Structures are given as C-alpha cells and as structure tokens.
Amino acid sequence: MTIRRVALIGLGTMGPGIAARLAYGGLNVAAHDISAEAMDRAKGMLGVAEGVLDRLDIEAPAAGKGTVEMVDSIAAAVAGADLVIENVPENLEIKAATYREIDPLIASDVIVASDTSGIPISKLQAHISHPGRFVGMHWSNPPHIIPMIEVIAGEKTAPETVSTIRELIRSLGLLPVVVKKDVPGFVENRVLYALLREAVDLVERGVIEPEDLDTCVSWGIGYKIAVIGPMALLDMAGLDIYSSVSSFLNADLANRDDVSPIIKAKAEASKLGIKSGEGMYSYSPKEIGELQVDRANKLIAIRRILEGRD
C-alpha cells in the first residue's frame, strides 16, 4: 500500500511536529482538532518545527515536500486519506468516540494508527470495524527531532499493516522499532517510567535534590545511554558485575504501584510543570521560551553527532 495522504486527528503538544515531519517526507497532511485554540497554536508551532527540520539538513524526497492543511472537521481531514493518525488525549473513551466518528468515513483498507503513549492497542482496536488495519504508531516527543517511532500490533492487527507502517517510517528516514507484544506503555515508556519511579522516590526520600538528580542522570547514565544502549551497556560493564550488583540492589529499588505522593500533591494543586509555570521546578514565561530553544538546539546537535554528521 502506498501512503500519500495522511489525516492527523488531534494536534495537542505533538501534533504540529508530527504533521511537519510527515510533510517534510513528501506526504500531504490534513490536520484537525476540535479546539480552535489548538488549531491556532498549531499553525504557529508548524513554522517552528519546519525551521528545526531545515537545520537538521534532512534530505527532502525527489518529488518534493508535502503540505499541511488545517481543516475544520474530521470528515474533511479523512477524505481521501490513506492513513489516519489519531493523536487525541490519552483517554480510552475519547479515543473510542473518535474511532466511531472516523469509521464510517473511511474505506476498509485505510490504516488507522494511534499515537497513544501506552494504552494497549488491542483495547483500542475493539472500537473500529476493521481491526486488522489498526496499529500503534507511537512517536517520541519532540516528534520532529526524535527519529525513533514504536510500531505496535494489537491482537487483531494484520501483519501487512505493521509492515506498511514500518516501511513508511523507513521511507521518511526515521527508525521504526517493532514492539512484539502489546504490553501497556510499550517499550520506551516502560523503561522511562521505571527510571522516573526510582528518580522520584530518591528525591522524595531526601536522598538527593532534584537538581543533583538531573545532573546525575544527564551526565551519568543518560550521557552513556545516548551512545550505548542498555543491552550493549550490560556487555560493556560485564554480565558478572550486573549479576552481582543486581542480586542485592534490585531488592532495594522502588517498586511502588501507585502514584508518588509528591507527584500527586503537585498535580492536584495544578502544579503541572512547564504548562502551568511550576512543577518540580518553577518557570517564568521568559525561561520557558529559552528552555524550549535551548533544548531543541541541544537535541539537534546530539542527533547530528549520533548520525555521524558532525
């Protein structure tokens, strides 16, 4: 199946970056969000994402770049689409309602992909009439910079659907990772949340201050893992060393199955992080803008180095 036109339903934080990256790869994107505010914000964010992509020196396809069009309804977005990417809030009921609206508007061979961060694909595909064409396509934030995308099959996803999305990702010059079992959180977020659980626990118990925790991770394990993945790191350290240390350390690691009180209290007080100006840290509007630019610059530089282009 050749994919030329993509419908993106739901813009939010990641939508503009996804749309820009797809268009940069030669696809025509029709994007829609029920929020007029989100649509307006996305128009401005598109230009920022396109500027970042230009700086990454990504080679455009021979046929040229595609386009991004903001449309005023789901029906307009999915008209003529070969692929529909759902990017609505991380709520099963909202997603199910979106699929029920999309379903009668598309042909039976149109692929529907969810950018869910962790809801099992098997649960989501139960709400569409042709579950074989339904697949997980989990981008990592910021999606126009991070090249890895997880591809997840649900219980009823057809193998050719997985193959089509995997090859589409490769054709864009990105890195598809096929998750072989439909586990909650898939792989990236399971690893990330295991790290975050331990990090929050250490801060909460007074073992370390948040700033020092971030320094420890960014300039310690984070610095190494950007170059040497966890499985390769095991080999570098030695499996005998890992076996010895894990024999006593694993029993002492955080294993709570609820939400940390420190996180719960801040969330209930609407201290949500950058979006509200305060979370684990406090941010002024000026600092937020500077952080976003600084982090994008560093991610661009690191990616270029990892790709051997600097």
Note the pLDDT tens digit of each residue in 175-185: 999 999 999 99
For residue 57, the model assigns a pLDDT of 86
Please report, in angstroms and rounded to a whole number, the separation of the first and last CA atoms in the chain.
Answer: 36
- 282 forms bridges with which residues in the sheet? 278
| The domain boundary residue, chosen from 162, 179, 196 | 179
Q: Do 171 and 199 have their domain in common?
A: no
Distance CA 169, CA 229 (A): 21
Task: Give the pLDDT mean for 9-15.
Answer: 95
Looking up residue 242, the CATH number of its domain turns out to be 1.10.1040.10
Q: Under a CB-based contact definition with an 8 Å cutoff, are residues 215 and 190 in contact?
A: no
Give the three-class secondary structure for 269. Answer: coil
Q: Are residues 267 and 123 in the same domain?
A: no
> Is 150:192 a contact under the CB 8 Å cutoff?
no
Quote the CA–CA distance of 11 and 37 in Å, as a whole number. 10
Whether 210 and 67 map to the same domain: the answer is no
Whether 175 and 193 map to the same domain: the answer is: no
- Whether the per-residue pLDDT at 60 is higher than 90: the answer is no
Q: Flag whether pLDDT at 88 surpasses 70.
A: yes
157 and 235 co-located in one domain:
no
The predicted structure's pLDDT at residue 192: 97
Query: How confident is residue 310, by pLDDT bands cut at 50, 70 and 90?
Result: low
Instruction: Report the number of distinct structural domains present in the chain.
Output: 2
- Percentage of the residues of the chain whose pLDDT score is greater than 70: 100
* Residues 55 and 107 grouped into a single domain: yes
Is 259 a residue whose pLDDT tops 70? yes
Spatial contact of 53 and 46, defined as CB atoms under 8 Å apart: no
145 and 60 in a single domain? The answer is yes
| Structural domain ending residue among the three candidates 119, 150, 179 | 179
- Give yes or no for residue 138 having a pLDDT over 70: yes
pLDDT at res. 63: 82
Do 197 and 254 meet the contact criterion of CB atoms below 8 Å apart?
A: yes
Mean of the per-residue pLDDT values of the chain: 96
Residue with tokens 């991380």: 90
- CA separation for the pair 286, 301 (Å, rounded): 23
- Residue range 78-100: average pLDDT? 97
Q: Residue 1 pLDDT > 80, yes or no?
A: no
Q: Is the pLDDT assigned to residue 62 strictly greater than 90?
A: no
Rounded distance, CA 258 to CA 140, Å? 24
3-state DSSP assignment of residue 9 = strand
Residues 96 and 208 in one domain: no
Range of the domain at 136: 5-179
The stretch 172-196 carries a mean pLDDT of 97
Domain boundary among 134, 160, 179: 179
> What percentage of the chain has pLDDT greater than the value 90?
95
Helix axes 239-249, 230-237, angle to 10 degrees: 100
DSSP3 helix / strand / coil % (the chain, rounded to 5): 50, 15, 35
Query: 91: which residues sit within 8 A by CB, 6+ positions away?
Result: none
Q: Is the pLDDT of residue 302 over 80?
A: yes
Closest CA to 148 of 157, 137, 139, 160: 139
What order of strands is seen across the sheet that includes strand 134-139?
Answer: 68-70, 28-32, 5-9, 83-86, 111-114, 134-139, 148-153, 175-179
Long-range contacts of 249-256 (CB under 8 A, 24+ apart): 253/198, 254/197, 254/198, 254/200, 254/201, 254/202, 256/197, 256/201
156 and 24 together in one domain: yes
Strand partners for 5:
28
d(CA 208, CA 113): 41
